Amino acid sequence: MTLIISVAYVAVLLSALFVIIGWGNRSVQGATPTGTFTFVALLFTAGLDMGLVMLPLTEFPVYAGDPVYDFANPLAVEFGMWGPLVWLMYFVSTFYFVALEPKLQVFQIPVIKWVYNLTVIATCAFTGYLFMVNLPAYAPAMPQWAVWALVVVVVLISVHSSAHLAFMKWLAILSTWGFGILAFTALAVVAYVYSGVGLAGLLANVAALGDYFANIHRFATPISDYHEFYLFWWFAWSIMIGEFVARFVGHMKAWRLAFAMVVLPAVPLGLWFCVLYIYHQEAITIPVWLNWAMISVGVVFVVNSLDSLIRLYATNLGWTVDRLGKRGYYPLHFLLQVGLVAAYFFTPFKIEWVGLVVIGLYAVVFVKMAMNLGAVRQGAASVPAE
Q: What are the tens digits of pLDDT across the range 101-143?
A: 988 889 999 999 999 999 988 888 888 888 888 888 777 888 8
Q: What is the pLDDT of residues 208-243, one digit of tens each?
A: 999 999 999 999 999 999 999 999 989 998 998 898
Q: Do the domain assignments include residue 355?
A: yes
Find the mean pLDDT for residues 34-53: 75
Cβ neighbours around 137 below 10 Å, total: 11
- Distance between CA atoms of 162 and 244, rounded to whole angstroms? 12
Domain total in the chain: 1
Our CA dihedral for 280, 284, 287, 291, rounded to 10 degrees, sits at: 10
Which residue from 97, 106, 108 is spatially nearest to 29, judged by alpha carbons?
97
Q: Round to whole Å and give the CA distance between 375 and 256.
A: 23
Instruction: Identify whether 162 is part of a domain.
Output: yes
**Average pLDDT of the residues in 176-199:** 69
22 found inside a domain: yes
Domain assignment present for 92: yes
Q: Does 385 reside within a domain?
A: no
Phi, psi of 224 (to 5 degrees): -155, 175
In a domain, 220, yes or no: yes
Please state whether the predicted TM-score (pTM) of the whole model is above 0.85. Answer: no
- Tell whether 70 is covered by a domain: yes
367 contact partners, CB below 8 Å, separation of at least 6: none
Domain region containing 244: 2-380
Helix (H) or strand (E) holding 27, with range, is strand 27-28
Neighbours of 7 (CB within 10 A): 13
Percent of the chain with pLDDT over 70: 89
How many Å apart are CA 99 and CA 378, to the nearest integer?
Answer: 9
Model pLDDT for residues 51-90, shown as the tens digit of each residue: 677 788 889 999 998 999 999 999 999 999 988 998 999 9
Asked if the structure places residue 357 within a domain, the reply is: yes
